[in-house]
A and B are shown apart, each in its own frame.
Chain A
């Protein structure tokens, strides 16, 4: 009997299970074990090792389970709150975008009308429109920088 056959038998013993070994392989293994004492001993040792592995009891304590359940529930609530905040931000963003679009269209027409009344050339009133549109943002930026609340920490220094 060659070493390969013993090796094959031992692999089959280790993998034996509902799906690990085919019917034909199982038959071959049974025949082999009948005639090979060393593989039979290996099979017995393996079976004993597997039995020991199966009885190796590690159980989770009640407190661990309870703590985990509490932590999971807290995290679920936190995620829920975050999702609600995110939804609110999206709703506000959509509303602001709509308002901005509407205001821009109205302002465009108003500035064009004023430009025509004042007999200004088109590039001039267009430039005026751009400056007027950007003015609130520029003013807000200047104000925040001046108050030191945007780019500075409590000491007034820049924080990376």
Chain B
């Protein structure tokens, strides 16, 4: 490990420790900062999993309440985002269990529009339309995948997680994660033809 890598690893560990200490104290200012920092990533993950914005927003709020309540359980040796996503995932599974006794397979494609448009302004109407079409195509493609493949792809390519981190979030063995990424990507390919950048 070279000096630069050491520096970044050490800085990350310090940041995680600081987060862990703040969570043990239930520091509301820290939680405000964390909510702002992870808002888009967490919501994107939940929207990708559920395919429903309203449900994702409910779970988004519940996730942060759970983070507050269970903050003392966070282990600073792991990335905070990994722990956060694992909590969100467990809440979703709990929600599905309450609804009906199923696993994440219960996340079948929905009839309604699966994803919302980005809030950010876009340069032109044409760009906006193209972007919207692409988003719709990706969303439709993702929603046709099995939930476990969809989750693996979202965590890997949208959240940029390592395979080990995905294994930690999903509780699946590393080999299974690799297989899900490969199979998910292969299954997604045909849906995205014609939606090229």
A, B assembled together: yes
Interface residues of chain A, those whose CB is within 8 Å of chain B, are: 10-11, 14-15, 17-20, 42, 45-46, 48-61, 64-65, 67-69, 71-73, 75-76, 79-80
- Chain A: which residue is nearest B61 at the CB level? A68
Complex contact A69–B35 (CB within 8 A):
yes
Of the A-B pairs whose beta carbons lie under 8 Å apart in the complex, a sample of 5, sorted by A's number, is: A49-B188, A53-B188, A56-B158, A58-B116, A59-B118
- Chain B: which residue is nearest A58 at the CB level? B44
Does B64 sit at the interface, judged by CB under 8 A? Answer: yes
- Chain B: which residue is nearest A59 at the CB level? B119
Does B65 sit at the interface, judged by CB under 8 A? Answer: yes
Instruction: Give the A-B pair count, Cβ closer than 8 A.
Output: 129
Give, as a whole number of angstroms, the nearest-CB distance from A139 to chain B: 42
Complex contact A65–B195 (CB within 8 A):
no
Interface residues of chain B, those whose CB is within 8 Å of chain A, are: 26, 28, 31-32, 35-36, 39-40, 42-44, 47-48, 57, 60-61, 64-65, 68-69, 115-120, 131, 134-135, 137-139, 153-154, 156-158, 162-164, 178, 181-182, 185-186, 188-189, 192-193, 195-197
Are A53 and B157 also in contact (CB < 8 A) when A59-B43, A72-B68, A75-B69 are?
Answer: yes
Partner of A57 from B57, B118, B156, B193 at Cβ < 8 Å: B118
Complex contact A48–B40 (CB within 8 A):
no
Give, as a whole number of angstroms, the nearest-CB distance from A15 to chain B: 6
A18 to B135 Cα, complex, angstroms:
26
Q: B residues within 8 A CB of A11?
A: 178, 182
- Other A-B contacts than A55-B134, A69-B32, 4 sampled, CB-CB below 8 A, are A58-B48, A58-B115, A72-B65, A73-B28
Are A75 and B40 also in contact (CB < 8 A) when A58-B116, A58-B118 are?
Answer: no
Complex contact B115–A56 (CB within 8 A):
yes
Complex contact A14–B65 (CB within 8 A):
no
A58 to B47 Cα, complex, angstroms:
8
Are A79 and B138 also in contact (CB < 8 A) when A57-B118, A61-B119 are?
Answer: no
- Chain B: which residue is nearest A49 at the CB level? B192
A112 to B134 Cα, complex, angstroms:
91
Partner of A48 from B64, B118, B196 at Cβ < 8 Å: B196
Give, as a whole number of angstroms, the nearest-CB distance from B182 to chain A: 4
Q: A residues within 8 A CB of B40?
A: 58-60
In the A-B complex, the 9 residue pairs with the smallest Cβ-Cβ separation, listed nearest first, are A57-B118, A60-B39, A14-B182, A58-B44, A53-B157, A60-B43, A59-B119, A56-B138, A14-B185
